[in-house]
Each structure stands twice: as structure tokens, then as C-alpha cells.
Structure 1
Amino acid sequence: MEFDMFCTRINVVLLLLALSSPCKFIQSPMDFGPLNFLQTTNTSSLDFGRIVFNSPSAVLRAQSPEEISMLLRFLSSSSFSKITVAARGAGHSIHGQAQALDGIVIEMDSLPSAISIHRGAESSPSYADVSGGALWIQLLEESLKFGLAPRSWTDYLYLTIGGTLSNAGISGQTFKYGPQISNVLQLDVVTGKGEQVTCSPTESSELFYAVLGGLGQFGIITRARVLLQDAPEKVKWVRAFYDDLETFTQDQELLVAMPDVVDYVEGFMVLNEESLHSSSIAFPSHVEFKPDFQHGNVYYCIELAIHEYQDKNTDAEQVVNEISKELSYIPFHFYTVEVSYFDFLNRVRMEEINLRSRGLWEVPHPWLNMFVPKSGIKEFIELLLGNISPSDFEGLVLVYPLLTDKWDANTSVVLPEASEAAGQEVVYIVGVLQSADPATCSAECLRSLLYRHHHVAQAAADPQIGAKQYLPHHPSQGHWRDHFGRRWDRFMDRKARFDPLSILSPGQGIFPRTYTSIST
């Protein structure tokens, strides 16, 4: 055992010397003892955004958290090292956040993905222990075998546990249960110093809260204990259409004020015929909605869901009928369908399959996601519509409310300070999920889209609107300081404590890599 460890360390030293040299000595995939380093691969410099392409010098397919720890311990104690490290999950970053230029990318899907389900008793909750590199769809499939499921989701389930917990993890259940980071009981984390730590709200709590929503800056999540609850059998899925923004948002806020009755609330803008068609792919019901786009009209759709539990004798149909009486949608444009719980949660997969069939999945995605205070949502939508072309917009614009009291201020996520100052409980998430088909959008066109989104983000950050980016991307540390606002000092203190040499997540562009004078 000691000899194997010695050989491993020698091989890592040789690798790092090669990486630090102007000449790259890695010319083909190689095994460095138990640490399986590969030559840089195409996927390691590629993400869903297809905007940034930073190639690492090597890729590590770790077989255990100990191997990740070994690498980071060495890097944090090596005076010659200039290497950074990024953990890559399913590769759904937009602006290269999981890339490491000339560094090392750790492919998290190589970790053992065993999922352990624990059904709780009366005094203890049910939970799942799951690898940070496992996908949410895998956790759903396994937990449903026990009649259980996580409480909070993302719309798309083919994302890793560690990836979404490093951001927040939001969807239509967030108003009711909070984001995914509010539904975690415990984490196993490898810090930037290579320390393996089990943390929770009561054990190493500073690291626990730092990592949740921490953008990968403080540690790599290798295991998470995710809270579970009883899973419903069926879901009553509803869509209602609107032609007025104020009525649309008022009804959304009415729905999120009914957490004992409503289980899911989202919404989206209907900008053109294509956006209406695209958003209807996964909804298995005929929708006889024929809006008039000729006069530049914009429409809106509320999407809600009611869970139905057979053993609880719930009548979702009756609940929907009662709710419909309180909403002010366009007459006769209220549509319902019943689907299985699994199919509802996995609904975006249908849209993915459709886009792949049309060659529109593996294209650039200049997305923009913003947290917008309730007080600024009208101004933000006006700003957005002034910077996009509704008639030929390709993609989806999500608009739905979250409740700030479901978020833990100890985590690293930043919500709009304007909402906190004004005591506003409602914050909207607006997701501009745009695609740029190379067949119709040139490189210049893509640059123009990115510029417009940057302009919208900067203008929306003005105190008049007071918005913050979700899945943030900023061009300089000064912009990051503005993003975190009064929480910047805490963020820096956590960085100094858990990753003092700024080894982790260089693709976020928050902290420049620093060096140590300690030699090994």
C-alpha cells in the first residue's frame, strides 16, 4: 500500500512538472498509477453554452474522493505548481464555468454512483445518499422504487447532484420547498486544500453553507444526503394563457401563496408561433390557443401542477376546478392533463429529443438567468423586450415567482438586495433560454446576442430594478464584487479558508490563481 502511494505521488509530480513546462509532454492517454489522467479530450473544453472553449492540459477520471483529495493536497503544497482544477459534471455550464485552461478537469461521472435510499421513521426524515457525480434522473428512478422522491427539482434532470447544489437548483417547486440547496442534510466535500470533510448544518457548518451555491469555489461535492418525501402517483398539469403581464404575475403570486394546495408554479412568455410550438412539445394535450402576433402582441402562460396521492384520497380535479375560479386568464384558454409523476418531472426530455432531431440541441446557447425583485419585474420585462426580437426569437423565456423565506441566507447564493431591503417576499426568476442556430445565426450574430444579454444584465443591476444574475457570469472581479454586494467579504473569507490558493473553479473568473512558497 505504501509503495503504491509512493509511486502514485511520483507519477503525479512528473505529471505536474510536465503541465508546468512550456512543452506539454502528455501526448497520449496515460495511467499515472491509480490516478487515471488522460490527455485533454474534446468534451473537457466543451459545455452546453458552446461559447467558451478552454482546453485543460489533462483530465482526471477519479475513481474515489480520495484520488481527488490526493491531487488537491499536492497542488496546494507545491511551490512550482501553476495548475488550477475544475470539477465537471454533465457539462451544462453556459460560459465555461467548469473549464480549466491549461489545468486539470475532474470528470465527476467517473465516481461510483451508488444511491442509497433510507426511509425515515416518525421522528426522522427520509433521505438518499448519492454521489456528487450522479444525475438527478438517476436519483428519481431509484427513489421511486421506494415510493419516495426529492422535494425540489430542476426543470432538466440530466444534471449532476453536485453541479446543481453548487448553484442553487430551482424549478416550479422552489416556492414551496425552497431550492435544492435548502433540501440537503449533509455533504461530503473535498476542499481546495485537499481536506475530505463531512459537513452539515451542525458539523463543519461554515463549509456546508459555503459550498451550497458556492459556484465550486470552496470544495468539490463528492456525496450529498438529499431530503426525500412520499412521491405522488399522478400529477394534474395545467396551463392557462394571458395577454397582460400584470394579470399574469398577480395570478402567479396568488398561486404561490397557496403552498398547501398547489405543488408547482412556473410560467413563460409566448413571443411567436415557434415559441408557442416549442413550449407545447411536452404538454400532452391539444391546445387551441391561436394568439394574434401580427400586431407585436406578447402573451404569457402560467403552468401549475397539483399532486395526486392515492393513499391520501386527494381529488386533484376538484382542486383545479376551485383554483380556476380565482384566476383571470383569457376565457376558454385553460387546459389540463393528467400524467404520471415521472413523466411530469422528466418533461424537458421530450423537448430535448425534439431539438436533437432538428439539429438544435448542440448549438450555442447564449442564455441569461436573472433574479428580479417583484418591484422591478415590469421594468425588467420592458427592458428585455427592448433588447430581443420577439418575432424571430428562438427559445423560451421563463418567468415565475420564488419566495425568499425559503432560502437560507447562510448559503453562498445571492438574491436581490432590493427585495431584502424592501421586505419583499417575492422574487422572480427570468430565464432567457435562447438558441443560436449556426445555420441562421453567424458568429457576428452570436456576438450580438451576447452583447444584448450583457447589456440587459448590466442595466437590470441598476438600483431601479435591482436584479442579480443566477448562474452568474461576470467579466472582472470588480463585477463579482458588485454581484455579491455586502456578502462579498464573507465570500472572500470563505475562499481564504477553504481554497486559499484559488485552485478551484478558475472558469468562474472570480479569483486569480495564487501560489505558495512552501516546497514539498
Structure 2
Amino acid sequence: MEFIFLCSRVNVLILLLTLCSPYKFIQSPMDFGPLNLLQTTYESSRDFGRIVFNTPAAVLRPQSKTDISLLLSSLSTSSLSRVTVSARGAGHSIHGQAQAVDGIVVEMESLPLEMEIHRREGENEISFMDVSSGALWIEVLKESLKFGMAPRSWTDYLHLTVGGTLSNAGISGQTFKFGPQISNVLQLEVVTGQGEFVTCSRTENSELFYSVLGGLGQFGIITKARIILQKAPEKVKWIRAFYDDFDTFTKDQELLVSMPDSVDYVEGFKVLNEQSLHSSSVGFPGNIGFVPDFGTKEKPKVYFCIEFAVHDYQLEHINVDEVVRDISRQMSYMQVQFYSVEVSYFDFLDRVSMEEISLRRKGLWDVHHPWLNMFVPKSGIVEFKELLMEYISPDDFMGLILIYPLLRDKWDGNMSAVLPEVGSTDRVMYVVGVLQSASPDTCNHLCLHNLLQHQRSFAQTACDRIGAKQYLGHQPSMLHWREHFSRKWDRFARRKSRFDPNYILGPGQGIFTNPQFASS
């Protein structure tokens, strides 16, 4: 185990815990060189958002799940402890959710990489992979493809850890068909806030299983997951169709998600300006000849694009081109604005890496990312679109706005993830991702502060008026978190008291404060 001290505030407490424990698991900072110390300080106090920077008191780089268990059990049994712990995967959060100011950050990618395929040939048997939670999804994809298999549900960006996405939900264009990633897990290995190591599933220790999935790191630290696999296609037919009418755009999206036997992936995005068109096209290798008229600054015109895909298993009795033609005949996109390409399954799933390479070359990757992701009821998507146009300026918006439908019945209500509360007959909901970038060269501290304040106001309005819910969000207070969880709050708080009664885990989310120390 590596345990690196970053400041002295809690070092005395950690030392006391070590001396009082039968386990001597915290090493001296003298064992590590200054370069390693400084690098770990920087990495553990930042994230992809480049908005919040909280320096931890120490960083644990576990070499086994036992290291994590010993840390949490020692902290949970100490009457002196006010030390909190955050599990950090790839650090892709936006508002410091994986940080722990004056606490301990557990770097999950330090766990040994474990990936074991269990292939089942029976018709009613499920193939799966057991994988360590610090593994990246890109590593999962590469390993499973060696056996002609792959997980069913993905995120758009694959350089995220398994444990990180399962602590939120994990969504992408396959979610309408298979549900989020948390709906495609058979079993978990978890270390609770009390340091107890537990194997859980829907039938074994089910309360912990449902709590942790989508639980924002509040109940335990995932160390291993059992992920459902399916046969991987050889190639993917990747299609984009453009629209100049929002109602037609959403109608065709809902048509596509009603065809799960034919369509394997559905997403969509808003085309606000020339920059948004080109940035979203980097990962699409086709020669798009669409040259839209964006109007004027006083009277802007926006467009929309549906992106869908059909898997090609290279079966003789299925003509994928004919399948795409049958689907397209039922759609109402702008005439001649329909484009398709054929790519490998790996390149399709790893498409965002092409965008990352392009942005890094332009110096636009390591910038502020004040992203906002929201789940929007179908009944409120038109009003949400109008509110959004009041919030952003199309001519200078830098980034991408995703809009695509999900199906509520693909989500398990027992899990901790929160969806909009709508009528039971409203099966469709939308995810809207405002993936904005703000370069420090053009947006200083005051600019970023104002942007975040404006964003918060917009999100609150959407929640109050439409019933939208934030995904990957960060609430400003415990009261706002109670409003976010709504009817799920009592269950969420009860689970916290059961699995992390000392309120050690997930301080970066800002959901709970230890009642014992709240006054101080």
C-alpha cells in the first residue's frame, strides 16, 4: 500500500489511528520522493471540470481491497475521527465530487487490474465479466473483444472507471435499449463506510447492491463488478440526419427508440453554430456536405441532428443497408441531409477519443467545463428547449448540446439514481447535456463565476417548472439535495445511516454532514 501525506492537519490523527490499530498500513511520507508527492497533490485536488480544487490531507493508493477496508474500519471505529474519504477514479467529475478537502482520496486506478470473462453458451444463460472497479471502460472493451463479446450499455467517453460510472448511472445511446450501466450489473464487491467487505447482488445483500448503484459514493466503495456481456458486432452502420424543426426531430427520435429490434443506438444534438457542427463531426468520418444558414445574431437559426446506429454482425440473412433504408423511409429529416458510414465496433464506441485528440491539439481540453446534464420529462422537453435558448447565446456557445430520449422502464427504481417524477404513462424522458467549455484565456474567474450562477438559476427553474432532475449534478446545500431526491430522500438517508453511519464517504458531493461535528 502507498499512503502519501499531503498536509499536516490530519497527520497526527492518522498516526494515532495507525498506532492504535493492529495493522501498520500507513507508510512514512519519507518513503516517497517529492516529485511523486507533488504530482499526487495536483492530480487528487482537481478534476475534469477545472472549477473546484480541494487539496486532501492524504492520498491512499491501494494495492488491494484489503487496504481500503483497513482504512475505513480504522476511521469508523475512532472516536476522534473527523476524516472523510473519497474514491477517485479517472477524475472526470465536474464540481469536485471525488475530492476530499483535508480528507483522504483513494486512487482507485491503483488497484491491480482484474478482468475475467465468463462466457455462457446456453440460450438462457448470461455471459459476464468480473472486473476491478479501477479499470477503464476502454480496457474492458479491448479485453472483451478478444472473446468476441462486449458489455451492452456504455458511456460516450470510455476513459472512465467502472466504479465511477456505476456510482452515477452510466448513460449513452444504448440506454434506451438496455438501460443504463447500473441496470446491467449482476454483482458487486463493496467496502462499506464501516470497512466491511461485502459481496452483493439483487438476491444477496440486495439493500447494499441497490444503494451503491447510482449512490454517488455515499454507501461504500466498489472494488469489483460483474458486468453483463453480449456478442459483439463486427461493424456498425453509423447514420446522421439533420432537422430544422424541433418537434420533427424529437418525433423521429421517439420513433427510433420504439424499434429496439432494428436500432442499437440513438442520440441527438443541437447545431447552434459553425463551431458546434464541426466539433461534433470530428468523430464522424463521413464527408458531411451540410452547410446550414445560422441566420443573424439578432435572429439566430438552429438545427438538430439525430445520430443512430445499426449493428452489423455480418450475417448472410440480414442486409444492414436494407435495414437502414427501411428505417429512414419512416423518418422526416431534411431532404438530402442524411449521411451514413460504416466503421468498426471499436472505433464507434471509442469515437469521443477522436474529439479529445482534436481538442488537445487546440489547447481546448484542459479548460473549465461547466457542464450541466439533466433528465427532462417528455411533457416538458419543448419548454426546456425554450428555456435553454434564453440561457445560452448561439453565436458564441463553445461546446455541444446533446438531446436524446431514454425509456423509464429500463431503470430500476430500487437503485439510488434519481429520475423525474412524472405520470406512470409517460414512458419516455430526455437527457439533455449542455457540454460547454470555457477557456481561461477568454473567461476569467469572474466570468466563470457568473456563468455558474446563471447555470444554477437555469437548472433550478427547469426543476421547479418542468420537473427536471440533474444528472451528475452538484447541489449547493443539503436542503437542495433533499429536494433533488424528493420522495427518495428518506430511503437514501436511511441507507446512509446503515452503511456509512459515521458519514465518512463521499464528502465532495456535499450531501451529508456528520451530525456529531455539524456545529463545528
Q: TM-score range by the shorter chain?
A: over 0.9
Tell me the residue number matched to 2:119: 119
Tell me the residue number matched to 1:198: 199
Deviation at 1:38, TM superposition (A): 9.4
Letter in 1 for 2:275: E
Q: What is the correspondence of 1:117-156 to structure 2 with a 5 Å cutoff?
A: 117-122=117-122, 123-156=124-157
Whole-angstrom distance in 1 between the partners of 2:284 and 2:305: 13
Whole-angstrom distance in 2 between the partners of 1:63 and 1:240: 48
Tell me the residue number matched to 1:378: 382
Deviation at 1:283, TM superposition (A): 0.4
- Cα distance change, pair 28–70 in 1 and its aligned pair in 2 (3 A): closer
Deviation at 1:114, TM superposition (A): 1.9
Letter in 2 for 1:61: R
Deviation at 1:37, TM superposition (A): 9.8
Number of aligned residues: 494
Q: Which one of the candidate residues 348, 351, 360 is aligned to 2:352?
A: 348
Whole-angstrom distance in 2 between the partners of 1:514 and 1:37: 33
SS at match of 2:466: coil
Query: In 1, are the aligned partners of 2:462 and 2:468 still within 8 Å (CA)?
Result: yes
Whole-angstrom distance in 2 between the partners of 1:504 and 1:271: 40
Tell me the residue number matched to 1:228: 229
Whole-angstrom distance in 1 between the partners of 2:225 and 2:515: 29
Query: In 1, are the aligned partners of 2:17 and 2:74 still within 8 Å (CA)?
Result: no
Tell me the residue number matched to 2:258: 257
Deviation at 1:223, TM superposition (A): 0.1
**CA deviation profile, 1:440-481 (whole Å, cap 9, x unmatched):** 11212211221121111100011x311000012100010000
Whole-angstrom distance in 1 between the partners of 2:272 and 2:16: 53
- Cα distance change, pair 52–406 in 1 and its aligned pair in 2 (3 A): same
Q: Which one of the candidate residues 330, 335, 343 is aligned to 1:326?
A: 330
SS at match of 1:42: helix
Whole-angstrom distance in 2 between the partners of 1:211 and 1:37: 31
Instruction: State the TM-score, normalizing by the size of structure 1.
Output: 0.92
SS at match of 2:395: helix
Tell me the residue number matched to 1:493: 494
Sequence identity percentage:
68
Letter in 2 for 1:406: K
Whole-angstrom distance in 2 between the partners of 1:173 and 1:15: 47
Tell me the residue number matched to 2:485: 484
Deviation at 1:108, TM superposition (A): 0.2
Tell me the residue number matched to 1:507: 508
Tell me the residue number matched to 1:412: 416
Deviation at 1:30, TM superposition (A): 4.3
- Cα distance change, pair 27–72 in 1 and its aligned pair in 2 (3 A): closer
SS at match of 1:481: helix
Instruction: State the TM-score, normalizing by the size of structure 2.
Output: 0.92
Deviation at 1:15, TM superposition (A): 5.8
Q: Which one of the candidate residues 306, 321, 324 is aligned to 1:317?
A: 321
Tell me the residue number matched to 1:449: 451
Letter in 2 for 1:102: D
Whole-angstrom distance in 2 between the partners of 1:324 and 1:225: 37
SS at match of 1:461: helix
Deviation at 1:294, TM superposition (A): 2.1
**CA deviation profile, 1:35-90 (whole Å, cap 9, x unmatched):** x9999610000100000001000000000001100000000000111100000000
**CA deviation profile, 1:478-500 (whole Å, cap 9, x unmatched):** 00000000110000010000001
Tell me the residue number matched to 1:219: 220
Tell me the residue number matched to 1:299: 303
Higher mean alpha-carbon deviation, 286-295 vs 237-246, is at 286-295
Whole-angstrom distance in 2 between the partners of 1:39 and 1:190: 27
Letter in 1 for 2:237: K
Query: In 2, are the aligned partners of 1:83 and 1:103 still within 8 Å (CA)?
Result: yes
4+ runs deviating over 2 angstroms: 12-15, 17-20, 26-32, 36-40, 311-314, 513-516
Q: What is the correspondence of 1:30-69 to structure 2 with a 5 Å cutoff?
A: 30=30, 41-69=41-69
Whole-angstrom distance in 2 between the partners of 1:163 and 1:362: 20
Do structure 1's residue 76 and structure 2's residue 84 form an aligned pair? no
Query: In 2, are the aligned partners of 1:100 and 1:506 still within 8 Å (CA)?
Result: yes
Tell me the residue number matched to 1:3: none
- Cα distance change, pair 157–304 in 1 and its aligned pair in 2 (3 A): same
SS at match of 1:163: helix
Whole-angstrom distance in 2 between the partners of 1:450 and 1:38: 29
Whole-angstrom distance in 1 between the partners of 2:214 and 2:503: 17
Whole-angstrom distance in 1 between the partners of 2:247 and 2:29: 57
- Cα distance change, pair 39–47 in 1 and its aligned pair in 2 (3 A): closer
SS at match of 1:391: coil
- Cα distance change, pair 498–395 in 1 and its aligned pair in 2 (3 A): same
Whole-angstrom distance in 1 between the partners of 2:261 and 2:333: 22
Query: In 2, are the aligned partners of 1:37 and 1:59 still within 8 Å (CA)?
Result: no
Deviation at 1:19, TM superposition (A): 10
Q: Which one of the candidate residues 395, 400, 405 is aligned to 2:404?
A: 400
Whole-angstrom distance in 2 between the partners of 1:67 and 1:467: 40
- Cα distance change, pair 14–442 in 1 and its aligned pair in 2 (3 A): closer
- Cα distance change, pair 112–15 in 1 and its aligned pair in 2 (3 A): farther
Tell me the residue number matched to 2:21: none
Tell me the residue number matched to 2:244: 243
Whole-angstrom distance in 1 between the partners of 2:272 and 2:315: 41
Tell me the residue number matched to 1:9: none
Deviation at 1:31, TM superposition (A): 5.1
Gaps of 5+ in 1: 1-11, 21-25
SS at match of 1:428: strand
Tell me the residue number matched to 2:183: 182
